[in-house]
Structure 1
């Protein structure tokens, strides 16, 4: 098993730094490549394992596609100038790296002989089309990276076994109803850098998605907070969009949120009580907006530890803006509050305003510069 891990890392050594870092992190956290595929694909409650037995002759591990490097069950074909998926990929391949090529299409039969595939990297190609039956024979795929391509929509019939899907920086203009049909094990979705607005997320788009805990919809054209995402989200990233206000009902269904990123938007107004639906929130990013005052609900978030408010238009800090009143209890003290880049006069702030901040360096005020 140690040999498999080592060779997997070596196979990624020429890949993009971001992908290599993500792969190492995923490997350390989940040990995906050390596990065997389950016999029953309808139940993944038990740890999955991949057999590391020596390949048989009929596994075709004695051949390797031209311009690729094959190590045990890892096939690396990145930066090879490929215009299509190689036809002679070994049948027992667990990880296939095809990033940084010139592939335009994934055809119906391109992946048909890869039943053991766990991770497929197609980052930075020119893919505009994926055949609806391209993933038909792949039953154990967990990682699918389609970032930096030209896909106009989310591919249909994606493997329902996926744990992580990255499809950022494509040309997706709409998330249609049923886009993630049957993907009840999906944990991570990265769909940033696509030109869809909030109204382009159709009702029912996430029906059946039961375990999604991380979504990133950054660097897009969202004009408001989406209200029909899965309710069990743990982390929601909506930074670098066009959101101008936070309405009272925006976060009503996201009561499990731990981290929320709304930075680099155009937010001017945050309605009172809009954050009160997030009792478990630990971290909020509201920096680089046009907020004029500390959100009223902040002081009632008993577990909030980090609050980023720098580079806004806050001109005054009230004594109870951050901390609950005397009869109420804050379970965790702040470890950091950033307020620099605001027109607030720091000498007018009462010291009691930060009474629930731990440490002398927990507040960053800086100097306001026009």
Structure 2
């Protein structure tokens, strides 16, 4: 295979390879998903200085059989996929050129202080379906990564939104955790601020969201997904989210829509909301104040049917 000196892309998915074969230095993309790879040594990638994409999903890789020097020859690698392996921590020695790192469905329990301190070009980090708890994420694990814009921590064991989030993050995905609380000021250090916050399928109650929980996101946040939680009212601070376009609060326990909880009737300005989902709550639609949604331009933007305590109208 080394003789194929013009080969740029090689797909070896779904075989029974236990080691990485000798490969031509012309390669830019290598896929070896769903094999039986039993480890990574430094010589495995020797000469692959042009490689941009490496996918090793669904193998038998873990902390004990991937050497910190394994990725050293890959000086131009920008995309690395290691999903469905057996890592307990993020592998060390990652290339400084890396822009996307996927570690979905491993056994990762912690993120240490220094493991990402060389990956200053990282823009996307996926750690979904792992075993992370917020007290096992080091305070300086990723706060200073200058380009990290998308962080996926869904399907973990988080009990509250983690502190010390990356300063320049735009998308934060936290659905399917055990989150009870959005601490006050947890987003306050972020510039320019999150655009997308996904908190569906958690255990958020009213007392877990404070008046200053969304501080730092007042101008930036466009999508806030809070469906499938245990909220009994419209969360405090929603009025302050001036850039909000999508708000999902379906499948909660909300009973009332008080005046000035969605629209501030004291201020004559339109909301940017184009989609607001409130279905599958406990709302009596007859008790909603007539001007509760007056700032939302299109009537069909607000979805209220069906409710759990009423029969669907036809």
Q: Does the 8 Å contact 1:93/1:116 carry over to 2?
A: yes
1: distance between equivalents of 2:249 and 2:90? 36
Task: Summarize the alignment of residues 171-320 of structure 1 with structure 2, pairs less than 5 Å apart.
Answer: 171-175=86-90, 178-180=92-94, 183-198=95-110, 201-224=111-134, 226=137, 227=139, 228-229=141-142, 231-232=145-146, 233-246=148-161, 249-251=163-165, 254-279=166-191, 280-293=193-206, 294=209, 296-298=212-214, 300-301=216-217, 302-317=219-234
2: distance between equivalents of 1:273 and 1:300? 8
1:167 equivalent in alignment to 2:76: no
In structure 2, the CA distance between the partners of 1:88 and 1:186, relative to structure 1 (3 Å rule), is closer
2: distance between equivalents of 1:273 and 1:298? 7
Instruction: Structure 1: state its 5+ residue gaps.
Output: 1-86, 325-329
Superposition RMSD in Å: 2.2
Counterpart of 1:349 (choices 239, 243, 258) is 258
Could you list the runs of 4 or more consecutive aligned residues of structure 1 that deviate by over 3 angstroms after TM superposition? 354-357
Q: Does the 8 Å contact 1:300/1:323 carry over to 2?
A: no
Q: Does the 8 Å contact 2:188/2:215 carry over to 1?
A: no
Counterpart of 2:244 (choices 334, 345, 352) is 334
How far is 1:290 from its partner?
A: 0.5
Q: TM-score, normalised by structure 1?
A: 0.66
Task: Summarize the alignment of residues 35-184 of structure 1 with structure 2, pairs less than 5 Å apart.
Answer: 87=1, 90-106=4-20, 110-111=22-23, 114-153=24-63, 154-155=66-67, 156-158=69-71, 159-175=74-90, 178-180=92-94, 183-184=95-96
What count of residue pairs does the alignment treat as equivalent?
A: 263
How far is 1:210 from its partner?
A: 1.5
Q: Does the 8 Å contact 1:322/1:354 carry over to 2?
A: no
Q: TM-score, normalised by structure 2?
A: 0.77
More helix by share: 1
Q: Does the 8 Å contact 1:194/1:220 carry over to 2?
A: yes
Instruction: Structure 2: state its 5+ residue gaps.
Output: 265-269, 282-307, 310-314
1: distance between equivalents of 2:247 and 2:253? 16
By relative contact order (CA 8 Å, sep 6+), the higher-ranking structure is: 2
Q: Does the 8 Å contact 1:334/1:362 carry over to 2?
A: no
Which residue number in structure 2 is paired with residue 57 of structure 1?
Answer: none
2: distance between equivalents of 1:300 and 1:132? 44
